Each structure stands twice: as structure tokens, then as C-alpha cells.
Copies of this chain bind each other. A is one copy, B any other.
Amino acid sequence: MSQKQADRDVQNATRALNADATRPFPASRRIYLQGNRPDVRVPMREIALSPTVGSAGTEDNPPFPVYDTSGPYGDPEVEIDLVRGLPAQRAGWIEERGDTEALTGPSSEYGRARAGASETAHLRFQHVRTPRRARDGQCVTQMHYARKGIITPEMEYVAIRENQALDRLEAQGLLTARHPGQAFGANLPERYTPEFVRDEIAAGRAILPNNINHPESEPMIIGRNFRVKINANFGNSAVTSSIAEEVEKLIWSTRWGADTVMDLSTGDHIHETREWIVRNAPVPVGTVPLYQALEKVNGVPEDLTWEVFRDTLIEQAEQGVDYFTIHAGVRLPFIPMTTERTTGIVSRGGSIMAAWCLAHHRESFLYEHFEDICEIMKAYDVAFSLGDGLRPGSIADANDEAQFAELKTLGELTKIAWEHDVQVMIEGPGHVPMQLIKENMDKELEACFDAPFYTLGPLATDIAPGYDHITSAIGAAQIAWYGTAMLCYVTPKEHLGLPDRDDVREGIVTYRLAAHAADLAKGHPAAQARDNALSKARFEFRWEDQFNLGLDPERAREYHDATLPKEGHKRAHFCSMCGPKFCSMKISHDVREFARRKGLDEAEALEAGMKEQAVAFRARGSRVYLQDEEH
């Protein structure tokens, strides 16, 4: 296949998905919040609302802005060309720091070989950027700048983004009713400032994962004093999947709210697939480099070497991967601790390293070369996601010796990484019953010196395959409340198969609602505004607004329309759940209206002698029915 043909194929395959995966959310438009620099423009999605119609007149409801992860795909003004990739919006910031240099080409052996390989030419992304790297002796991580007291444009961007137009929401009264959070020692400010962001990154409590070779990404932050983030995994395994399909999953994920994505592909053409993904990703991209390294040695763990792994790190760092899962905590002495487990080792990376350690009877090369790894990461600003290779894969194995031995090691490694100013987050479980969840968070904060925690669930029970997005959302909401900074989603297909597009949507929305529940509980200053706006719409029978303010307007509308499809029903003061006679909200309005008409609030009304009013209410017919001609 010629390159032209391949490009055309990708474009054709993606044109259809474009129309679908980037279809606008109802009543929504893209807005940008302007920072101090003209090129700091933070995207939000603004949802137009209809007015409140009451007996006292009509009152406008200003449009509601929401955090938006969809990048240029959510902006109808931006023309998307997947073959060229997204605009490099951070390129100027990176260049102006003057601490990096453009290379002439990939410096990894594998990268060079693949750049010229004819057998993959038809799959190759054509508009590869020249990779950049730190100048000799320079460290180019956000942590490095933060510790030097520098506020980068990325940090300013993040501060604006985290505030979520809080001032507007407050001015509209949407935060008047706001419950204080219970933050378990977290320290969420009432307003995010660039200086607060800088300080959190400098302290290692938060990371801003933005590889200098991924200038297409929009800055976001992962830390327990910020909005809880979610990650979506995709990538093919034994089942082949075209590059276009993977790119589609990426766009689909950011549409529904994924803050980062991980490309976990293990099949052929990982290198080429990744290039397409990174060039088109508006969010940070994570990988597990060990998977590709294993492919390079034909799937035989004992054949893995530091040299192959090292080359893979450089290859991927120069493509622009923003964080690497590295299972450097799976040490030789910990492996025997897993043999009596109910479910052994359930992490792919963990089991590969365990097999390597046993086969060689040697300490893990990841552990032994950890400082070498740091040297690579700091030259591109790739963040560590220190993998929990010994996480429990069942309720029975939760919080066991192996798990916590590894966690302690991850803490040691965190310290080493921080000596190099490399950003770190820590991966966590897994399967944990509720009464043992908090211990995971507490131990992580202690062992890893407040480095951000990034957990998979945890699943609060093992007994519901097919529903593990829910068993895990129960655990995820709790651990995020206790302090987890980012949640890795779980789809309904967990333990059973590969998620399809619907599963990805189901998993992301489930995790977004869990993350939001945690934001409410911790007391994120902007969180409750959306609940308040949606509930106000619900109480005022503004059906469309209720749908549109939700995380998945399309599904809400579809479910409503399943029983009451007519347009008039979206103005009706009842729904099919209770019907017009029994609508408590309708009656509740009558009660409130009754009080308002008398020009008294109800409390005064009671004291002023309610009997008289009771007569008036009866005279109005104690209207409980809605006289709706459509019913």
C-alpha cells in the first residue's frame, strides 16, 4: 500500500468517526479562559440553559461552564486533520525556555530503524516531529522549574483550569449552598493560583505530565489538592485492531472526560500506533514500556535486558509519551510472598518482572538501573507512574505483605526520582474490601511522602464480573475521597474481554461521576456548582437543562424519551415515574407558591396564622393535578 493510499485510508476511516465521536454536546459551545499571556487559553465547554419560568416572571439562567478534556476536538472552529496531527500549542513555551535542543532524528536504535523501515511505511505517521531533548546537563521537568521558583505557562494554565470559572459560578449564586468537605489532611484552596500549583509540584504532591515531545497536549495536573482525574486505557492485544480504531478510542475517551489515556497496545506496530496516538492526543499519554520491550525479545521475559529496555524508554520519550509505568518495585525477595496468594500476581508488568527475576535469580534490572532511568526521564520530562506489580487481584489478597513491601520500595524510588527532579506518581490497587481501602491511602501517603496516588478502582468485591465498573467505582469514589489523585477506569468488560466503544463510554462516565463524588466530599471549591445547577433545573422541570448539565446528556434524554418521547413532555411538570398526580416536585411547588403569594415566607406564614391561608390554598383548589392536555 502506498503512503498516499494509507493516508487516505486513515482519513476515510476517521472521517466517519469524526462526525460521530466529535458530535457536539447539546446546547454547548467552546469557550476559552484567557491567562496573563495571550497564548494561555484554557478551554471549557459552556452549556446554554433555558430561563426559569415562574409565576413571578421569567428569570434567565446564565450558561454553565464545565471542565473540558476534549481538546481541539471540542472546538468546531478547529479543523481536525488526523493525518497531520493536532496543533503544537505548547511548542513555543518549550522552545522559549532555551534548555532543550532539536535533534536531527530519533536517538534510539529502534526509533531510527523504524523511521526507515519499508515494511511499515504504509502505517507510518508522516508528519513526525523532530524530537527534542534537554541540552547536556539540563533538567527540563516541571518539577525542576517549580523547585527553582519558576511559574511556567503550564502552571498558570492549570491554575485557571482547576478553578473551573469558579468566580462566575459564585456570582450566580450556584455555590451559596455548599457543604464543607472532609479532606483527610488534603489542603484544597478556595482559589487556585499559579503559585499554589508551583508549590504543589515542587513538593512532589502533584505532577504536571507534559513531555516536551508532546506539545499537542493541554496542561493538566494530578494531585490530591486538585480535581480528581481519571484515566482511560485502550490498546489492542491479541486481537488486531487498526490504527484508525485506536485513534478513534482516543478521541472518544477525551470526549467523555478522560484526563489522560494509556496506550497499552501489545500487538504488532506498537511504535507506529503510538505515533498516531500521541500526535493526535490533547491529553497526556501514558504507556508501559515493558510491554514493547517484551515484544522486542519475542515475548520471552528472560531475554529482556536493560539495553533493550533503555532503548525503548528513549524511543517512547522521543515520541512524546508523558508518563511511563515502571514496575521497579517488583524485587526478587518479594516474589515468594506471592506464592500463597489466592490470585498470585495479576499485574502484567509485575508478572513479567517476576519471571525475569526468577529466571536469572537476580534483582530486577529496573530496580538496579533506576537512576539511569531517571536520567532519561528528566531529559524529556517524562513522569514516573511507579507500577504496583504486586497489587492484589482479589479481595483475599488485599493489603498483604507483598503489596506493602512493594509500596515501601516505591517510596524509596520516589525519593531517588525526586533527587533528579523527576515527577512521580504511585500506582495502587486493585481489589480491596471497603474496610481496608483507607489503609492503602494512608500507607501510600506515608511511604511515598505524599506523592500522588493513582489507583485502579479498587474493586470492593470480586463477585460481579460484568459489573466491575460499578464494584470498582464504589472503591474508587472512596479512595479518591481519602486522597487518590487519579483513578484508572475499569469497564464492564474487566476480567472478561476487551472493551468496545460503548464500554469505554460506560467506564469513563462511571469514573467521572465517582471522581466528582470525591471532589464534593473533599470539598473542591467548584465541585458543587454543577450539582446545584442540575438540581435547580430538575426542580424547575427544565428537562433539557437537566439532561444537558449531566455527564451524559444523550443517555439521559434517551432514557426520558423511552416513556415520554413527545417534545411537549420536555416541558411537562412531571415525568413517567410518578405521573402528573403524584409528582412531589409539582406539589412542592404549589406549597412554595402558596407561601410566596401571601408575600410571606412559610416560617412567618405559620406564625402569622396559617388557618387563613389554609382557606386560601383550598380556594385555589389545592392544585395537585397538573391539567396537562397531553396526558
Measured CB to CB, the residues of A under 8 A from B are 177, 179-182, 237-239, 266-267, 291, 294, 299-302, 332-333, 335-340, 342-348, 350-352, 354-355, 358-362, 393-399, 431, 433-436, 460-467, 469-471, 473-474, 477-478, 481, 492-498, 500, 509-510, 512-514, 516-518, 520-523, 528, 530-532, 534-536, 538-539, 546-547, 549-552, 555-556, 558-560, 562-564, 574-592, 594-595, 601-603, 605-606, 610-611, 613-614, 617-618, 622, 624-625, 631
Contacts and interface: CB of A to CB of B under 8 A. Distances in A.
Contact of A534 (B339, B463, B605): B463
Given A237-B582, A351-B591, A467-B551, A462 B539 contact: no
B301 A622 contact: yes
B434 A481 contact: yes
B536 A342 contact: yes
A336 B556 contact: no
A395 B464 contact: no
A559 B492 contact: yes
B339 A538 contact: no
Contacts of A350: 584
Contact of A497 (B396, B463, B550, B576): B576
A177 B341 CA distance: 9
Contact of A465 (B520, B550, B574, B582): B550
Contacts of A267: 579
B467 A513 contact: yes
A507 to B, nearest CB: 11
A470 B344 contact: no
Contacts of A301: 587, 622, 624
A469 B436 CA distance: 24
Contacts of A493: 559, 562, 577
A562 B499 CA distance: 10
Nearest to A431: B535
Contact of A435 (B181, B469, B532, B552): B181
A466 B555 contact: yes
A362 to B, nearest CB: 8
Given A237-B577, A564-B497, A466 B434 contact: no
Main secondary structure of the interface of A (DSSP, over half): helix
10 contacts: A182-B435, A237-B576, A238-B580, A294-B582, A342-B535, A434-B481, A435-B520, A463-B530, A466-B552, A496-B560
Interface centre among A500, A547, A610 (most CB of B within 10 A): A610
B466 A588 contact: no
B551 A464 contact: yes
B354 A470 contact: no
Contact of A345 (B355, B433, B523, B587): B587
Copies of this chain, count: 2
Interface centre among A335, A470, A510 (most CB of B within 10 A): A470
Contacts of A464: 509, 512-513, 516, 550-552
A405 B528 CA distance: 24
A518 B498 CA distance: 29
A498 to B, nearest CB: 5
Contacts of A510: 467, 470
Contacts of A552: 464, 466-467
A473 B530 CA distance: 20
Contacts of A563: 239, 497-498
A170 B462 CA distance: 18
Contact of A559 (B179, B497, B535, B595): B497
Nearest to A464: B513
Contacts of A336: 595, 601-603, 605-606
A195 to B, nearest CB: 28
A396 B589 contact: no
A517 B461 contact: yes
Contacts of A433: 179, 517, 520-521, 528
Contacts of A538: 343, 393-394, 462, 495
A588 to B, nearest CB: 3
Given A354-B587, A584-B345, A465 B547 contact: yes
Nearest to A345: B588
Contacts of A237: 576-579, 582
A276 to B, nearest CB: 21
Given A496-B556, A498-B576, A517 B460 contact: yes
A559 B580 CA distance: 39
A395 B528 contact: yes
A450 B179 CA distance: 27
